[in-house]
Every structure is written in C-alpha cells, then in structure tokens.
Chains A and B, each alone.
Chain A
Amino acid sequence: MSITSLGEYDFPSRSRQELYGDDQLVTLWFQDTMWWCSPVMFRAPRAMTWADFWAQMIVPLAEEDPDFDAATARTWTLHGAPFEPQDGMTLTELGIRHKDVIGTRVAA
C-alpha cells in the first residue's frame, strides 16, 4: 500500500548507504546471551577484512561482558542463514550488505 498524501511524496532514505561513503552499517547480534539489551550496530569500511572487523570492532565491545572469551569457537549466521566468515575476506566479499545483521553463538 502506498502513502496517502497531499502531493507527490518521494523522499530518499535517511540512512542510505551512500551517506556513509566507503563504509556501511553492520549489526552484530549475540544470540545466546541477553547481557546486551539489543544487537549492536557498527559503522565499518566495506573493504575491512573479517579479521580486522573481529579484532578492532567486535572484541573491544564484547569484552564488556565478563563471560565473553574471544578464543571460544563460534557459529555465525547472516540474515538467518548459516555463514562462515573468512579472516582474509572483506565485508563486501563476504556478502555483508549495508545494515545486515550477523548473528553469533558460542559453538555447542
């Protein structure tokens, strides 16, 4: 259904990817703990490798959780589907789009 309005109504998204230049928004969702009230959103370069994203963005934040251990094995999802991050690949190469949600759990 489209909007009811007085005149033509077509305005761009206020958070479209181009507003972030070479970066994009990426959300990380710790699915097996409620310590974080919600998933956490980052602004990250699309050309950042997974290894850097992990070490520079995720770990410094996640260490706020006293139970977090960077060394444990984890499973990952990308918009719901199982996902295998590769250290040397960039976010774009991994198929992570602007505003995508990456889920993670400690492996069973």
Chain B
Amino acid sequence: MTLAPEKKTKKPRKLSMKARYEALTRGLDWEPSYVTKEEMFPHLEYEGIKIHDWAAWEDPFRLTIDAYTKYQAEKDRRLYAVLDGFAQGQGHLNLTDAGYLNAMKLFLQGVTPLEYAAHRNFAYLARHFAGPGPRFAALCQSIDEIRHMQTEVHTLSNYNKYYSGLHNWPENHDRMWYLSVPKSFFDDALSCGPFEFLIAIGFSFEYLLTNLLFVPFMSGASFNGDLPTMTFGFSAQSDESRHMTLGLEAIKFLLEQDEDNVPIVQAWLDKWFWRAYRVTALVSQMLDYMLPRKVMSWKESFELYFEEQMLKGLFEDLAFYGITPPRHVADAVQEKDVLSHQVYWILYQFSFAAGFTTTMPTPEHQQWLSQAYPDTFDTHFKPLWDKEARNIASGGRHFTRGLPQLCQVCQIPMAFTEPGDPTTLCQRESEFEGEIYHTCSNGCQWIFEREPEKYRQAWLPVHQIYQGNCGGPSVPEVLEWYHLQDGDAGEYLGSRDHTNWLTWQGEAAAETASHENKAGA
C-alpha cells in the first residue's frame, strides 16, 4: 500500500505546553496487566512509607524532554564559549592567587563525583516510583546531575594543564582519607530505600543545606577571578532551583499522604541533617582558610543561609505537619564559632597526604579571622598558629606522622570539641555486639546507635591503611597508592603551583611593561 502524501496546507495541531506535558509524561503511564503493581515497583513498601495517591504529586516544573534539552543545550553553548575564550586568553593568570585553586581541587575531588552518584540514584528513583509525576522529575534531575559532572570536569580541566592536584580526581575520591567523608555520605544515601534517599539527598542535601554546600564554591569562584567555574555555577543555577523545588515538594508530599509517615520522615530529617552538616565541615574551612579573597565567613553564611532561611523560614512552615527542627541542630549552631578552624587544623597537619596544599594563614588573614570570630579565634586558635610560627622559624613544619582516630559515621578525624567547650575534644563511645566504636559528636553517635549494623561496615581509611589494604602499611606506600605526584600535596609556599605562579606573574608583568614602553616610544 502507498501512503498519501501529506497535504502541505494542513498544519499539525499544536498542543499547549501544559497539555503536551500531560501527554508526554502522565499520558505515558500505564497499569500493569501481567505483573502486579508490587512486582513492578518492589521497593516501595519496606521503608514503611504509605502513599495513597501518587497523582497528588504536584509537578513543580512542567518541562517536557524536548523543552528540557533545548534549554540545556543553550546553556552548554554559552558555557563552552566562555571556556574557549578563557583557554585562549590565558585566563588562569587572572586568578587572585594559585592557592585559590586548592578550593577547586577539593571541589573536583569531593563534589564532582557526588554529581555522578546523584545521577545514578535519581535514575533509580525514576525507575522505582509508582507515580509518573515524581518519576519524570527524578529523570530530569538524573540527567541534570550527569551534565553537572561533565561540565564541572570540562570547566576545571582548563586548570589541569597548568596546576597540580587535578589529574586523578575519580581515584582520589575512592581512595583518599578526607574524600571518604563526602563519598561515604553519598554511599550511605545510595544504600537507602527510595523514600529515604529522597529525604537524604532530594531534601536535606539539595534544599536544606545546598546554600552551605554548593553555593559557597561558586561564590568563591566569582570573588577570585575564576570565570569558568562562575559560568558553570550560573549554568547549574536553574537546575538547582528545580532540584530545590523538587526537594520541598517531596517532603510535603510524603507528609500529606499519611500521618504515619511523619515520624519516619522526622527521623530521616534528624539523621540526614547531621550527615550533610558534617560534610559542610570541609566547606567551612574552604570559606575561611582556602579563599585568598573572602566571600563571607562560615559563621555568617551559617547564620544567613541556615539559621535565618531554614530554621526561621522553612521549619516554621513544616511545623504545620508536626515536623520539628532536626534533633542535633543546637550542637551545629554552637559549633559555628569553631568548626572551620578545627577542620583546617586537620587539613594543615595532614596535607602531606592530600590532593591539595595548605599554608599558615598570613598575619592579615589572621586579623580577618579574629574579626570574623571575635569570641574564639584569638583565645583558642591564634595560640596554635603562634606556636606553629615559632616551629617554622626553627625549621619545622607541623605534619603529623601518625594517623588520626576517625569518626565511625562521618569519617572525619575526631577533631571536634564538646558543645560549648572548645578546649575538650568530643569523644563518644558505643558498644555493639562486643566491639567498640567511636563517634565525633552527639549527632554521629545517635546515627550510629540507630543503625549500628550499617555503620560497622564503614570503610574507614585509617583502619584500611592499618589492614594493609591501601598499597601497603607505610605512609610512602599509601601516598603512591593515592597516585600523588610531585606538587600535589604538602605546603603551598614553595610548592610547584606557587613557584610557577610567581614566575608567570613576573613574566606577565614584564610583558605589560614592555608593551607600555613601546607605546610610549
């Protein structure tokens, strides 16, 4: 048979955006006929969450795949144009200082792999939710996240040509001690059921703490002349606002579906607030110590983005559902004056085994710290730097040769102090089936004791090194297993990045001067 040629005059009927969305998403849903719904969606019951009406899910963004790809392609075009221009114009020389890139090394090693992990798990949600609305939202987020991973890699690869520490990030993430903090956090979420993951990552990570976790890196970039990262940040911004809306919709949906969901969600919130908050420890030191030009202090950012916007804004709304602020929030608030200092002190003495460098804060930097932290810096942390200054003057550099005791849950060295007492380290000990486990805080201990069967399996880097699973039992063997190259680790002053930077800045200055001379002649 032959098909009649289409008549040119007859235009195809155009659907409205909303109708197209309905047709392309919900319209594609079907009732299973040869398996049961439980067989088709086998992971929806065991967490105890009750969903009565999947159709009640409000789709916050009525995007279709064709509209979605069109927007994303447009954003990618803009980003890659900036990256080309940056590479051609030797844009890296306009950074505030090569030391700034330590923040981006941490970002590439610690955060970029999380984008990939998020991509994987939102794909899992897109498979396992029984409602087409949340399935499609999860699918879009899954695609966003892999795009974030790729664009971050492409953005930062511009620096890899000239600077250390950026050449082996996926392996760094899997192997290195400080990166087990974000990695184990996400692995913890990946091994949850679909609803807990939604609260862990969709809500706690993407909504509650995103302004403390992700945004500070982008603001740091814009304050320190890092145009590519800043452009990436803008390109991710519209996705992130979609993710935030999804996170908020998710928690409200679960709370509205059944009253029995409320205590389950509350417990997840209690757990995931603290888990995600502990990951922000790395961000806190980045803001206060790694950025040559400061955006704002960790304390200010915690007060603004968490205390003001979340505790006062969000949790007042959630009270309507019977949800209270996360269990250990008071400890986090109390820690805002000490957190970044304690974390940088860890990184400073262990940076011989890291994919970035550290250095003692200069006198001007210390002045800024003491103004930003009037109640704690001069009393508790400046004395340590003064001692280190004397140590350096007599030829030392404080690198700890031993290995730190780690928290069984957050995996950070046990450097945090008792709430309200910055002079006493916080040690919590729990016993489970005859073995003892240590945690760094009330929050981590509570999490451990709720699910000891899970956390006793933690891959703790120090313990693994001592078992000989990381290249060998000695520090040089471990560093080789990390694939650290000359210049990746250690002290910033005199490092490969630092000396190159000084040379390049000198050359650039000489070149400008000679241009000016010619112009004057």
Contact = CB atoms under 8 A, between A and B. Distances in A.
Interface stretch (B105-113, B453-461, B497-505): B453-461
Contacts of A39: 404-405, 414, 425, 427
A59 to B, nearest CB: 12
A14 B463 contact: yes
B252 interface: no
A3 B432 CA distance: 14
Given A4-B48, A11-B453, A99-B435, A37 B423 contact: no
Give the contact-size bracket for chain A: 35 or more
B47 A43 contact: no
Nearest to B424: A31
A79 B429 contact: yes
A42 B402 CA distance: 8
A10 interface: yes
Interface in A24-44: 25, 27, 29, 31, 34-43
Interface in A1-60: 1-6, 9-17, 19-20, 25, 27, 29, 31, 34-43, 60
Interface in B274-299: none
Contacts of A38: 346, 404-405, 413-415, 425
A88 B463 CA distance: 28
Interface string A60-99: 1100101100000000000100000000000000000111
B390 interface: yes
Interface string B425-466: 101010000011110000000000011011011111011001
Interface in B384-406: 384, 387, 390-391, 394, 396, 398-406
A36 B345 CA distance: 9
Contacts of B406: 41
Given A39-B404, A43-B466, 16 more contacts: A4-B193, A12-B457, A14-B463, A31-B424, A31-B425, A34-B380, A35-B384, A38-B404, A38-B413, A38-B414, A39-B405, A40-B402, A61-B402, A66-B387, A97-B436, A98-B436
Interface of A: 1-6, 9-17, 19-20, 25, 27, 29, 31, 34-43, 60-61, 64, 66-67, 79, 97-101
15 contacts: A2-B453, A4-B47, A6-B193, A9-B453, A12-B457, A14-B463, A19-B467, A35-B384, A37-B346, A39-B414, A61-B401, A66-B387, A67-B387, A100-B436, A101-B429
